[in-house]
Chain A
Amino acid sequence: MNLFKKAALASSIAIGLSLSASALAENIAIVGAKIHTVSAAGIVDKGTVLIKDGRIQQVIEGTDVPSGYRTIDAEGKVITPGFIGAATSLGLVEVSSSAGTVDARAEPHAISTVGAALDVQYALNNDSTLIPITRIEGFTSAATGLSGSEQLFLGQGAFITLATTYQPVLKAQAFMKLSVGNSGVDNNGGSRAALWVAINQSFDEAKFAKSYAMDPSQNWLGLTTMADAKALIPVLDGKMPLVVNADRAADIVQVIALKKRYSDLSIILASGVEAWRVADELAKNNIPVILDPESNLPGAFDQIGATLENAARLHKAGATVVIGMDTHNIRLATQHAGNAVANGLPHSAGIAALTINVAKIFGMDDQIGSLEPGKVADIVIWSGDPLEVTQTAEQVFIQGEQIDMTSRQTKLRDRYLQRNALKPVGYTRP
C-alpha cells in the first residue's frame, strides 16, 4: 500500500509536468538547467531554452524569461537535444522472432537481384509500441532500415521522427545499406572474392544507367534489376549516403578503396569493430563510424581486434564517432556512450555521438542534432547526466510538443504496482 502511494506520487509529478501538453505553436521556456547545446555555444551551465512555433528560438544564459512563454522549471536538470537512433529498424519490427511479419527482413523478390531497390519508407508503422518506449527515454528521431535482405544491399533506409504521427518520414531514401563483413559474404557467394566484384559491377551498372533509357521496353541484361540500378544512381552521385557494415581492418581498407574508385560516394562505416586500426585513414577520407562501443569480443574472425577503446581511439584520430546500433533497446545507446566515455571518449564526444554527429551523417543537421536557433525543438530534460545509467529522461519534447511520458511498459508497470488482489488484473486500468 505504501508502495502504491509512492508510485502514485511519482506519477502525479510526471502528470504535473505534462499537464498542458499542448498545441504545437505554444511558446515554452525551459528554465534553469545545465544545457548541452552541442554547438559552438558549448555547455551553458545554467540557462534557458526558448521554444517558439515548434522550433528552438534561442538558448540564453541565466533564468530571466521574456514574457509570453509558459515556463517549465528545470533547475538542477540537464538538457540535451533529442537523441537520434543511428542504426535501427524502428517502425519495421514489433516482435522479432516467431511473431508474424517482420518488415525489417526482406526475402528475395523479382524486383531486385542485389537488394538496392528495396525501400523501407512504405513499411513504417508508427503505431509500433517501440516508438513510445524509445522516445520516453530521450530519443526523438532515428535512422531506420532493413536488418536483413539475403542480398548484396540491404535496401534504402529512412529517417523518421518518433512523434505520434502517421507520417513519420522526415527523409525517405535517406541512405543505402551494404554489408561487406562475414554476414554479407555468407549471403553473396561465400567469399569476398565474389562479394566485392558484385559490388563493383552494381555501381558500374548504375553508372551506365545514368545515360540509359531505363524503361521496360529496353534490354537490360545487367546483374542488377532496373530498379536496383536506378536506386544506386543517387548513391553513386553522393546524394544518398552508403552505410557499409564492416569489421575487420582488411575489409575497412577495401571500403576506403571503394570510395577512391567511386569518388563521389558518401560512405558511413557501420559496426567497425576494428576501425581503430585504420582510424587515421578513416579520418583522412572523411568516413564516419557508427559503432557499438561495448563490442569487445572476437565474435568472429573478422572481429579479432575488438576493444572497448574503439570509440576513444577513433575520436582521437579525428574520425566522427556515432553511437547507437539496436532496435528494441536503442534507448540503451546512452549507456553504450557512457561506457565509451568510461573507456576514454570525452564526455562531449559521447553526447555528440548521439546527437549532432548522427544528424550530420544523414544530412539532417540543418534541422536537428543541436540546440541552435531555428532547429526543430526536439529536446530532452534529464534528471542528470544522460550517459549515467541511474539517470533518466524526465520530459521529452518532439517538434516543440511536450510528449506524454507513458508507454505500454509504464502501463504494465503501473497495473501491477496498483493491482487489486480482489479482482482479475484486467480491471486495473492505470
Chain B
Amino acid sequence: MLNTKIKLGLALAVSVALVTGCSGDKQEEKQESVTGIDKNPFPSTYRKIDSQPVVITNVTVLDGIGGKIEDGEILLKDGVIVAVGKSVRLPSGAIEIDGKGKWITPGIIDNHSHLGVYPSPSTRSHSDGNEMTSPVTAEVWAEHSIWPQDPGFQRALAGGVTSLQILPGSANLFGGRSVTVKNLPNRTIQDMKFPEAPYGIKMACGENPKRVYGTKGGPMTRMGNVAGYRQAWVQAQEYRTKWAEYETELEAGGSPKRPSRDLNLDTLAGVLDGDIIVHMHCYRADDMGTMMDVMKEFNYKIGTFHHAIEAYKIADKLAENNVCSAMWADWWGFKMEAYDGIKENIPMVHAANACAIVHSDSDLGIQRLNQEAAKAWADGKRAGIDISQADAWQWLSANPAKSLGIFDKTGSLEAGKNADVVLWSTDPFSTYAQADKVFIDGAMVYDRSNPESWPVSDFELGQIAEGDAK
C-alpha cells in the first residue's frame, strides 16, 4: 500500500515536473488536509494591473513556439492573449497600436537570476544569496532574501524580461529553494510571486562547493560533492517514507506518532515527490554525466543544468535524459570548469533536440538576452546549424517557461496564455533593437516612448538620475 503510494507519487512527479505545477498542487492540498502542514506558507499576493484591450497590427510575430507571421496581429484582453494571427477581431474600446516595422514576441523569461538576493548596490548588507554555512541548506528559500527594491528589476523590464527565476547562489551542494516571479516588483516579495508556479531547488556541481567548503569541513573534491548529494538523498528518502507511513496511518484512522519535521528534508522530499524542480549549476560534461546517474539512482528529475558550459559535448545524452541546459552565449575562462566554453554551445544543444535555454546569471546580461540569443543563433548558422529565428526564440521564452513549470501559463503567444508580451523596435536579433513596449498580464508596464511612466525603485527615488534613461 505504502509502496504503491510512493511510486504513484513519483510517476506523477516525472510527468508533472516540466509541464505544470497543477497536479503537484492538488497533492499538496491533500497532504495538507491530513497532516496539517501548510505547504504554501508564503502565498503569492500578485495582482495583475487592470488594462484596456490592446490590438497590435502590422507587426512581425514570433509566437515563441516556432511560428512566424509577417504583418500579423495580436489581441490582448483581460490579461490574456485572446488571438494571434493574420488578423484579429478589434473589440470596442481597444487601444490599437500600429506595429509597422516592429516585432512582437513572448516576454523573455530568465530562469537564472540573482536580482534581489544580490541586488544593486552590492553592499555586504545586501549580499543575501548564498547561505555559506553548510554544504546542504535546502531549508533556505531565496524569496526570504529578495529585496524587491533592487533597481535591477526595472532595468530587466526595459530589456523585455517579464518573468524570472531567482535562485540562491552556487556555494552549496543544495543551495535552497528558488522562486519564480513576475517582473513587477512591489512592496513585498509575495506581491511579485508568479501565481501557482512550482518551486525550484538550486544545486551545484563542481568547483564552487569544493572551493567554499574545502577548508571548512568539506567537501573538498568532486567525489566529496557527489557523496554529499547521495547522502542527502538517502536521508530524504527515509524522511519521506516516515511521513508517508504517518499519513497512511492517519488516513486509516490511527493515531501514529508524528515524525519530527525538518525543513531541509521537507524540500528534498518535495523534489522526490516531483513538486520541486531541480536547477543544477553544472559546467563540465563529466559532472553532468555523473549527476544524471545520481538522478536515476534516487529517481528524481533534474529539470535544468545551469551554465552547462560543456553541454555541447554531451548534447545527445541531455536529449535522452530530457534535461534542459541554460547557457550563456559566450562567457568562458573565468575558472577551469568554464575553460572549454564555445560560442556554438546553445545551437549545438538545440541541434541535438535537447532543450536549450539562454540565461543571464547577471544583472547586466538580463537586460539584453535577445542579443545573447542573436549571437548564438548567428554563430550556429556560421557553423552550419541553420535554425530559424522563430525556433531560436524558444531559448528565451518557451524553454525557460518549461524549465520553470509555467509553460501552461506563459512563454508563448498562444490564445489563453498570460499576455506577457514584448513589442520590439525592430528585428530583436539585432544590437540596435530595443523593447518599445512591455506587457505583463495585458498591462503595458514599460513604454520606452514615455519616460514619465517608467517605474523607479524606492532606492533610486530622490537620488541623482532618478528616472534617467537607463
Give A residues with C-beta under 8 Å from B. 3-10, 94-99, 130, 277, 294-301, 303-309, 328-329, 331-332, 335, 338-339, 341-343, 387-392, 409-410, 412-413, 416-417, 425
Contact = CB atoms under 8 A, between A and B. Distances in A.
Contact of A390 (B312, B430, B459): B430
Q: Is the interface of B mostly helix, strand, loop or mixed?
A: loop
B432 A299 contact: no
Nearest to A415: B313
B292 interface: no
A391 B374 CA distance: 10
Given A297-B152, A309-B469, A342-B431, 13 more contacts: A94-B333, A95-B334, A297-B363, A298-B120, A298-B460, A343-B469, A387-B431, A388-B430, A389-B374, A390-B375, A413-B348, A416-B312, A417-B348
Contact of A388 (B342, B351, B431): B431
Contacts of B430: 388-390
Nearest to B427: A390
Interface in B299-334: 312-313, 330-334
B454 interface: no
B121 interface: yes
A9 B385 CA distance: 12
B343 A300 contact: no
Given A308-B469, A339-B431, A413 B330 contact: no
A389 B375 contact: yes
A98 B431 contact: no
A306 to B, nearest CB: 7
Contacts of A296: 155, 364, 367, 470
A416 B151 contact: no
A231 B50 CA distance: 65
B455 to A, nearest CB: 15
Of B123, B312, B377, B383, which is in contact with the most chain A CB atoms at under 10 Å from its CB?
B383
Contacts of A300: 121-123
Nearest to A421: B316
Contact of B465 (A294, A305, A412): A305
A250 B56 CA distance: 46
A98 B211 contact: yes
A297 B378 contact: no
Interface string B427-470: 00111111000000000000000000000000110011100111
A307 B158 CA distance: 13
B185 to A, nearest CB: 15
Contact of A306 (B351, B385, B465): B465
B284 interface: no
Contact of A305 (B123, B384, B464): B464
Contacts of B344: 413, 417
B343 A299 contact: no
Given A97-B334, A409-B341, A409-B342, A392 B120 contact: no
B293 interface: no
B386 interface: yes
A298 B312 CA distance: 35
A387 B375 CA distance: 12
B374 A297 contact: no
B459 A298 contact: yes
A49 B374 CA distance: 31
B384 A417 contact: yes
B123 A10 contact: no
Given A3-B385, A7-B383, A98-B336, A390 B378 contact: yes
Of A3, A94, A277, A341, which is in contact with the most chain B CB atoms at under 10 Å from its CB?
A3
Given A341-B431, A392-B382, A413 B342 contact: yes
14 contacts: A6-B386, A96-B334, A97-B335, A99-B335, A99-B336, A277-B464, A297-B152, A300-B122, A328-B331, A328-B332, A328-B333, A343-B469, A416-B313, A417-B384
Contacts of B460: 298, 304
A341 B459 CA distance: 28
Contacts of B334: 95-97, 328
A331 B379 CA distance: 14
6 nearest CB pairs, A to B: A6-B384, A338-B431, A390-B378, A7-B384, A328-B333, A97-B335
A388 B377 CA distance: 13
B339 interface: yes
A392 B334 CA distance: 23
B368 interface: yes
A417 to B, nearest CB: 7
Contacts of B330: 329, 331-332
B247 interface: no
A412 B312 CA distance: 10
Contacts of A6: 383-386
B374 A390 contact: yes
A204 B343 CA distance: 49
Contacts of B468: 305, 307, 309
Nearest to A5: B384
B386 to A, nearest CB: 7
Nearest to B374: A389
B275 interface: no
Contacts of A341: 431-432
Contact of A298 (B151, B336, B348, B434): B151
B465 A304 contact: yes
A127 B287 CA distance: 29
A103 B39 CA distance: 52
Contacts of B465: 304-307
Contact of B364 (A96, A297, A410, A416): A297
Contacts of A303: 121
A297 B335 contact: no
Contact of A297 (B120, B377, B434, B463): B120
A343 B431 CA distance: 10
Contacts of A94: 333
Of B339, B341, B374, B429, which is in contact with the most chain A CB atoms at under 10 Å from its CB?
B339
B340 interface: yes
A388 B382 contact: no
Contacts of A387: 431
Of A296, A303, A387, which is in contact with the most chain B CB atoms at under 10 Å from its CB?
A296
Contacts of A391: 378
Given A298-B460, A301-B121, A95 B375 contact: no
B371 interface: yes
